[in-house]
Amino acid sequence: MPVAASADTSPSPRKRQALELFGGLPRRYHAMGALLSFGQDPRWRRALVAAVDARPGQRVLDVATGTGLVAFALADRGRCEVVGLDQSDAMLAVARARLAERPELGRRVEFVRGEAERLPFADGEFDALTFTYLLRYVDDRAATMRELARVVKPRGRIAMIEFGVPASWSLRQLWRLYTRAGLPALGRLVSPAWFEVGRFLGPNIEQFHASEPDLPGLWRTSGIGEVHERHLSFGAGLLLWGVRSDQRPA
């Protein structure tokens, strides 16, 4: 999810809008994500973790970790080491509180503050990488994808979850009705902040896919090969995964 800019840079208008929109959500983030997606968001995250298929002894970076949902799932399923990165101190505070409740993961999971556009890690430091709902909130998607690929070892897996837009006309109309009316209405029942999120998401998702009609192509030009695309929940979710190419893009 979107987060604040680092201390030494000024956030762009896109990031500033995202920061203001999501700043008050961490406490209910997990439950509301499941509610507003009719239980599909947890299912999509499980599919993401399965696509990466991390193994014991591997080191995995989860970018835009938020409250750590994917990071914990990776550690539980793969018995691997996980670093969860986010720019939001509020989100990370919730993730760290959850980690404190699970001392058995204390040596395998850690959470750090940082930006996807400028990762504080060396080239090829991780065996795999995941990210969720990230690319809608960065200004230079190609540069961000290259930066994500940079920190993954050659042949390491990279995977993402993003909201999708159903391809069929009839399903798209139902999706648009829900995202334009249903999401804001449900959000209003919880808080003004969730109402604003509900009002924001539908148009933002459509604008993203209109501006990036070939996400697999973006991945390939960023140094990621063997790209697979899977549409989930009748197209409302999108899972992409691939492997870091042996050669970095020029």
- Walking along the chain (250 residues) 10 residues at a time, the average pLDDT comes out as 42 64 60 68 94 96 95 96 93 93 94 96 98 94 97 98 94 92 82 78 92 96 97 95 82
Domains and CATH numbers, the chain: 13-165+213-244 (3.40.50.150)
Q: What is the mean pLDDT of the chain?
A: 87
C-alpha span between 51 and 30 (Å, rounded): 21
C-alpha span between 155 and 159 (Å, rounded): 13
pLDDT tens for residues 110-128?
A: 999 999 999 999 999 999 9
Q: How confident is the model at residue 196, as a pLDDT?
A: 80
Q: How confident is the model at residue 190, as a pLDDT?
A: 74
> How crowded is the C-beta side of 164, counted as CA atoms within 13 Å?
23
pLDDT tens for residues 38-79?
A: 778 889 999 999 999 999 999 999 999 999 999 999 999 999
Q: How confident is the model at residue 27, as a pLDDT?
A: 59
